[in-house]
Amino acid sequence: MDSRRIEGLWDCGYCDQKGILARYDRCRTCGSARSAQTIFYLPKDIEKAVLSDEERAKTSNAPDWLCDYCGSLNSADSMACSGCGSARERATKDYATLHSGTEINAPRG
């Protein structure tokens, strides 16, 4: 099974910083934390975005997760929501990592 890991990017909603790596949960320019509304997207150059084994070792395999009940963004380590205490199994959204199975409609070249 292909388990390539592609690192998503996000844009800061406070300053103009774009393309912040998913591994950072704060803007590298102004320090603002990303929120539950933050939208992740794939980089233009997918091949370069695929993490090497070395890089993968540095990033968490388990992504951050979003609570379905209260919308709190929780760290990958916690098994229950820090906001409302809901068990993690209820969370279905993967906000930190985009996998290679994701459909990509970007034109080539």
Task: With contacts defined by CB under 5 A, name the span among 41-49, 53-61, 77-85, 93-101 that binds Zn ion.
Answer: 77-85
Query: Residue 1 Cβ, how far from Zn ion at the closest point, in Å?
Result: 31
- First-to-last alpha carbon distance for the chain, in angstroms, is 27
Q: What is the DSSP string of 42-86?
A: --S-HHHHBPPHHHHHHS-SSPPEE-TTT--EE-TT-SB-TTT--
Q: Which of 26, 42, 23 is nearest to 34 (CA)?
A: 26
Task: With contacts defined by CB under 5 A, name the span among 1-9, 43-51, 54-62, 68-76 that binds Zn ion.
Answer: 68-76
Residue closer to Zn ion by CB (options 15, 104) is 15
Query: Residue 109 Cβ, how far from Zn ion at the closest point, in Å?
Result: 31
Count of residues that bind Zn ion according to CB under 5 A: 16
SS3 category, 98: strand
Residue closer to Zn ion by CB (options 29, 60) is 29
The answer to whether 57 and 95 have CB atoms below 8 angstroms apart is no
Binding-site ranges for Zn ion (CB under 5 A): 12, 14-15, 17, 27, 29-30, 32, 67, 69-70, 72, 81, 83-84, 86
